[in-house]
Structure 1
Amino acid sequence: MIERILPILTFFSAMGSGLIAGLFFAFSVFMMTALARLPSAQGIAAMQSINVTILNPLFGLVFTGTAVACLFLAITSCFRLGEAGTGYLLIGSLSYLIGSFLVTIVFNVPLNDSLAAIDPSAEGSSGQWARYIASWMPWNHVRTVATLAALASFFMAFRLSG
Structure 2
Amino acid sequence: MASAFPILTFLAVLAAALNAGLFFIFSVCIMTALARLPPAEGAAAMNAVDAVIQNAWFFSAFLGAALLSLVLAFLGFLLGGAGGVMAATGGIVFLLAVLGVTILFNVPLNDALAAAPAGSAEQAALWQRYLDVWTMWNHVRTLGSLVAVGLFALAFRQGVPPG
Distance 2:121 2:150 in 1: 45
Which residue identity does 1:32 align to in structure 2? M
Which structure 2 residue ranges, 5 or more long, are not aligned? none
Aligned pair partner of 1:151 in 139, 144, 149: 149
Map of 1:40 onto structure 2 = 39
Which residue identity does 1:139 align to in structure 2? W
Identity across aligned pairs (percent)?
43
Instruction: Indicate the larger mover: 97-106 or 116-125.
Output: 116-125
Distance 2:82 2:122 in 1: 56
Q: CA deviation at 1:113?
A: 0.5
TM-score normalised to the size of structure 2? 0.93
- Secondary structure at the residue paired with 1:85? helix
Check if 1:99 corresponds to 2:97. Answer: yes
Q: CA deviation at 1:85?
A: 1.1
Map of 1:79 onto structure 2 = 78
Q: CA deviation at 1:125?
A: 2.2
Distance 1:13 1:157 in 2: 10
Map of 2:140 onto structure 1 = 142
Equivalent residue pairs, number: 160
Which structure 1 residue ranges, 5 or more long, are not aligned? none
Give the superposed CA RMSD.
1.2
Distance 2:31 2:49 in 1: 11
- Secondary structure at the residue paired with 1:79? helix
Contact 1:84 1:161 in 2 (8 A): no
TM-score normalised to the size of structure 1? 0.94
Distance 1:42 1:14 in 2: 36
Contact 1:51 1:112 in 2 (8 A): yes
Distance 1:63 1:112 in 2: 17
Map of 1:89 onto structure 2 = 87
